Structure formats: structure tokens, C-alpha cells
Structure 1
Amino acid sequence: MTGASSGIGRGVALALAGKGVRVIAAARRIDALDSLASESGGRITALKLDVTDVGTRLAAHWRNRPLLLDCSHILDEHGRERMPVWLGRMISDARAKRAMLIPSARLSDPSEAELHAFKSFVDSSVGAAFALLLASGDLADIAVVPRIRHCLDRLGTTAGECVLVIDFSDADLSLPEFAEPVIRYGVELVQELGSWRKIVFQGTGFPEKNPAEDGGCQTVRRSEWAAWKHVVATDPTMLAHLTFGDYAADCAKMTTGKGGVAIRHLRYTCDEDWLVQRGRKLGRSDKTIMSAVCQAIVGSGHFSGASFSAADAQIWALANGVGGAGTATTWRQLNTTHHITTVVSNLVEMRGGVIKSGPAPAAQLQLAV
């Protein structure tokens, strides 16, 4: 049984073991699996999943394009002391499958030993040698520049070969006129180390708790986008130094293992806001609930059209009663696909470009989605 370290998977594994079934429980968190095996009285065998399948997953969706892997979320999970083994296997496997994986870590995270291990994977030919993640709070540290320089020296690389991500998810971006000078200061400060391969501004204004009531709709301002636009409007030359980044239609906090029933809703990205449309429960089927959610989005006046993205085509189809309701994974895919398409379109327009619209899908093709 996969995914057995927490949530529903853990509960089912224990229930089966309680009925005398021998269970092989597989997951990435070996500590949680060991606890589960102990609780079962020996009827559950723990099996840690290999991390090399990351390469297969990445190559399936993002081949021959540079991508950053934030190792901060997996260092403790897979073991810092064994990092050269498992991370080396993961990176070599991914690159062999033409996923141009670039390791990244937070400035505050890696030890001297881990920096030495990361050095083994530095390879600028995949788009950048390394990516360093800086929290906006780090900018208040008077030693932040020497700390960054030390990391680069230990990695055996330079700013010109690396990506620097300045994450403002821990900052209040609700007032762009106040956020703009802080962002500018951060960019100017890190440029003391030279011209970076890329500097990424990253942030999110999406709340940790779903803001829409049952059966309701709530707009949430895209404060990170408003702050970014204010920076560029104040100084257009910043476009040459800075790239926009966000957390898609989500907050910056990553939580796992809670289980529970997913909220039936969609987060639809508009030019300035997110439209959070939540379904009404009332004991109805997922198909009925999500069809109503999609109907509300299509009729909101903010719908981009069925030809805008694959996600929009699916939203249009479900609004017309065609196709299944999907799962929480499907809904997140719809949110993310539409969001990325919107942001890329916005960025291209900001740089004076134009993305040609594809042909509107014929009704029968839309209905076949």
C-alpha cells in the first residue's frame, strides 16, 4: 500500500492489519512508516519508496527546460547524512531523462558538509549551476552578502552562473507602494555580488485558509502581482534584472498528512484577483457540485474562454455537464494550468509581446473534453 505513512492510507493499513492482513506499507517518510509498523504489532512491513522516480515525473512534463528543485523540503525526509547518495541518484536520473534539474536550497539551510555535497551536482550546462533561495527577512541581516558569497565559494561557482530567488511570501505585499522600495533594495543589494544568471521575485497573497464560504464566492487580491507591477512601473529597467514568480493559486505553506475531505472549489486567476468559487455541499454528488462551480465561473464575467487553456476548456465542458467531476488533484491541475497561462500571458504583454490565441475549439471537441 502506497501513501501509508499518514491520513487515510495509514488508517486503512492499520485496519487491514487489525483483521490479520499482512501489509507492506510504502511511503517516503521512513520514520512514520516505522512508527506505523510498531503500532501494528509487526503485521505491517515498512518499505521506503525510492526517490529516483522524481526524474521520470519531471521528464514527463518538463523535458529539456531548466527547473529548480527546492531541496529544503526533502533534506530531512531522506536524510541529510546520506544526501550525496540519494540526491546524486535523483539528479543523475532526472538529467539522464532530459529533465534539466537544478538543485536549490535556502540560504539558512545547508551546513558546510551539505554545501560540499551540493558542489558535486553543480553544472551550469543545464541552465544554471545552482539556485539559492533567500527569504525577504534575510535582507535585514547586515551579513547577508558575505553569507551568500560564502555559499557561492563553497559551491565553486559564481553569481553569474546561479539563480537567486528572493521569496517575499513572509512579507506584507498588500500595499504595493510600500513593498516596491523593499523589493528594489533586495535586488540592488544582491547585485553587489555581480550579475546573476537570473533573479526571481517570488511571493503570494493567497490565504492559508479557504476564504470562500460554503456555496459562496470570494475574490482575493493578487498582491504579489500588484507589487511586481508597481516595481516595473516605477523602474522599467527592473525587467532586465528581475523575473516574476509565485506559488500559483496557493499560499506558501506546505502541509501534508492531515487527510480529510477535500473542499469542492476552484481558484480562478483573473488579471488582478483570484476568484475562489466554492461548491455547496447539501449531500449532492461531486459531479453536481463541480458543475455548479464551473457554471458560476463561466458566468462570472471573468472567464477567459474555452480556447484560453486546456483547463478553461475542461471548465467550460463541466459547466455544460460533460465529463466527470474529477478529484482534488484534477481541481488543483485546473487551478494551476489556468493560472500559469494567465501569468505568462500577462508577462509577455508587459514586455510588449503578443501571444496569439488558438482557434476556438468546435462545440463537439469541447464536449469531448
Structure 2
Amino acid sequence: MILSNHYVPFLKWRQSEYQALFKLKKEIKDLITPYIIMPPIEYDFEEKRLKKTIQEHIEPMPKRLKDKWGARLALLDFHDSIEQGIMDNGENVIKYVYTKALAMGCKLIPVISFQKSTWYLTEIKSIISSQNCGIALRLFLEDLDKPTLNSEIDQILKMFDLNINEIDLIIDLKVPDKFEPYPLFSNLIFMKINKINNLKSYRSFIIAAHSLNLREIKQPGGLFTRHEWMLYPYFINKFKDKLPTFGDYTTDNIEFLPPMDMRKVNPSAKLIYTLPQHWYVLKAKAFRGNEIQMVSLCANVIGLPGYKGVPFSDGDKRIHDTANGNANFGNLGTWKQVAINHHMTKVVYQLSSYHASII
């Protein structure tokens, strides 16, 4: 069960993300239920084709889920470009992943939304009918404005033959146009959500959002407000009868970025460090060919008053080790992993302190 003091990070299931999750300490993992999104197949610009077949792309996924997250609970979703893929044995991708992962002992809750295809919903229905795992219903801001919202939810309940207490409700605000002023925005969202019938009866209730736009950040970076975290206490105050669980998109882009020909681009070196109310983003010169600059970026972070130290997380240790010459310069994926690992640890500690203070 996803409790109100848990944390739901939205994670693209690529190496940086699943390694960041895997390297969390046990006590942090105990308070996390990740929202995992199976990613699209990457494109090979040199060969002018997809890098893998659907079989090659999906086949390792169930074992990877087991290896990186074990028997802990996770929410599972699929990028729409792969959800209708067919494996070599004739099975749909969705059925293949669930059948294999569940047989290995993974605990997964399928995610649906109004935007999903009939194909997808039918496959999910066949899975939950034999698993008794319920579903997670993901609603977006535009869904909350539908006059037919409650009737559409009723149709979902009827299709899946479920009671409301078998559904985890996810309100995904994604990137709102404006978070501030927080009292006004939180009240607006409260009124929209409050139109949902029987809100208290859902198995769990999650509100997620994102406010870090990496594509708009120029050198040398700076401090950027964690608006979704600043908004959370207002939601706790509003939804007193059904406390919402906090969710975010960690330190990454909210969407899968379009494919890039890495022969023609050289992304900037970047290090993101989560502070109590801000992200500290350091953006430097092109990474490839100048990897040594990560030493100074890491040294900059460990000089912060808010740097938590080596014991705090695997990400913090890696920053310390690189700054002090005890680890290599890594690659772009390394520093994404570091940022996400520290961020998830930071959020869990913040939530633990916050919920302890309101009990």
C-alpha cells in the first residue's frame, strides 16, 4: 500500500534512473514507491534505424525490475511507442513484462489513464483479473476540467470490475503554467480534485508535479525553486480527510527527449544538487573532451552549506570522491544518476520530518 508519508518519484527506466534507485539505502527504499515508465527504443543515427528490435529492448526488462527493485512495490507504465509491440513469442509487450516480472516475485501496480488505447486497457484488464493487484488511475490537469470526469471514472470501474478501494488515484499536474501564489494555486487544484466522487475511498491518493526545466537553464546555472515541494504543505492542509502522497519527476526532464545524433552534439557538463527548497544547478562547458571540469563542479557542491556529506547517499559519496580525486570523471549518465540518487534520498528525509511534525 502507498501511504501518505511515502514518496513517488517518476522514473524513466534507463540506466541512470534504475541505478539511482538501486543504490538507495534500504531505509530510503522502504519509503519509496517508484512510478516506472518503460522507455521507447533509442535511435541509431549512424545506422539510420532503431538500435534494437522490440524483443531486444523489452526482453531484459523483467529481470532488471527484479534485480534493481526486488519484491518492493512499484507502479508500472509504458511509453506509448512500445505498448502495442509484439514479442517473438507472439505476446504483447505489456503481457510479456508483467508475466515474467510477476513470476520473478516483483510487485507491480499497472497504471492506466483516459489517454491509453483500448488495446492497452484490454491487456491490463487481463493482467489484473488474475493478479488481484488493482490499478492506478493517472489523471492530468485537463482531465479534472472534464464535466464527464466522474462518469468516465465509473466506466473504468465497470470495465475493470473494481471497487474504488482497489484504485490508487494519481493526480499528475505535470508542469503547470504557474505555481505561485501557492495559496491560490493549491486552492484551485483542491476545488478541481474535490469534484471527484468518493475521494476518501481510493486506496491511495498521489499528487505529482514538476518545475525544473533543464532546457531553459543557461551557463553557469544557479538556484531554482522546487515549486512542487513548496506547494505540498498547502495540499496537506487542504486535504485533511485524505492526505496526498508527494510525487515528482526527480531532477530530470519530464518527457523523454527526442533522439539526438551524439556525433553532432556535445551536451554541457551539468551537476544538480537538491537543497531544502531549491535545486542548485551547475552548468559548464561541453562535457566530452573536458571531463576534468567535473572535479571543480563537485568541489563547488561540497563547499555548499547544504552539502549533506558522504554518509547521506551514494550520490553524495560520488560527488565527494570525484572532488577529491578518488573517483573518475564519469559520463553524463553518471551525473544524472548522482543527482537523482541524492534527490530521492533528500525527499524521503524531508517527508519523514514533515509528516512527523504534523502527527
- Asked if Structure 1 and Structure 2 have the same fold, meaning a TM-score greater than 0.5 normalized by the shorter chain, the answer is yes
Query: 1:123-174, CA deviations, whole angstroms, 9 ceiling, x for partnerless residues?
Result: 6967x41111100121111101111111121012122111111111142323
Residue aligned with 1:268, SS: strand
**TM-score, with normalisation over the residues of structure 1?**
0.77
Task: Name 2:107's counterpart in structure 1.
Answer: 100
TM-superposed CA distance for 1:67, in Å, is: 0.8
Residues 338, 321 of structure 1: CA spacing in aligned structure 2 closer, same or farther, 3 A cutoff? same
Q: What percentage of aligned pairs have identical amino acids? A: 21
Larger Rg: 1
Native 8 Å contact 1:149 1:193 kept in 2: no
Q: Give the TM-score taking structure 2 as reference length.
A: 0.78
Change (3 A) 1:161 1:333: same
Match of residue 145, structure 2, among 140, 143, 155 = 140
Q: 1:290 aligns with which of 290, 294, 305?
A: 294
Q: Which residue of 1 aligns with 2:245?
A: 243
- The offset of 1:118, in angstroms, is 1.5
Equivalent of residue 331 in structure 1, options 311, 329, 335: 335
Which residue in 2 is equivalent to 1:57? 64
Please show how residues 103-114 of structure 1 align to structure 2 within 5 Å: 103-111=110-118, 113-114=119-120
Q: Which amino acid aligns with 2:293?
A: I
CA distance in structure 2 between the partners assigned to 1:122 and 1:10 by the alignment: 39
* Displacement after TM superposition at 1:26 (Å): 4.5
Partner residue of 2:273 out of 268, 272, 277: 268
**Structure 2 matches for 1:116-195, cutoff 5 A?**
116-122=122-128, 128-171=133-176, 172-192=178-198, 195=201
Deviation of residue 60 (structure 1)? 1.2
Q: Structure 2 matches for 1:191-340, cutoff 5 A? A: 191-192=197-198, 195-213=201-219, 216-232=220-236, 234-235=237-238, 237=240, 240-260=242-262, 261-281=266-286, 285-286=290-291, 288-340=292-344
One-letter identity of the residue aligned with 1:324:
N
RMSD, matched Cα: 2.9
> Number of aligned pairs?
313
Ranges in structure 2 where 5+ consecutive residues have no aligned partner? 1-38
Q: Distance in 2 between matches of 1:143 and 1:263?
A: 46
Q: Give how far 1:77 is off.
A: 5.9
Q: Please tell me the residue identity of whatever aligns with 1:56.
A: K
- Deviation of 1:255 after TM superposition, in Å, equals 1.4
CA distance in 1, matches of 2:239, 2:210: 22
Q: Which has the higher contact order (CA 8 A, sep 6+)?
A: 2
State the alpha-carbon separation in 2 of the partners of residues 219 and 83 from structure 1. 50
Partner residue in 2 for 1:19: none
Consecutive unaligned residues of structure 1, counting only runs of 5 or more, are 15-23, 30-47, 354-369
Deviations 1:264-302 (A, max 9, x none): 11111111010101233498631x211111011111222
CA deviations 1:302-337 (Å, max 9, x no partner) are 211111111101101111122111112211110110
**Residues 135 and 170, structure 1, Cα contact 8 Å, conserved in 2:** no
One-letter identity of the residue aligned with 1:166: I
CA deviation map 1:26-77 (0-9, x unaligned): 5146xxxxxxxxxxxxxxxxxx525232111111111111111123534556
Instruction: Tell me, in whole angstroms, the C-alpha distance in 2 between the residues paired with 1:116 and 1:280.
Output: 48
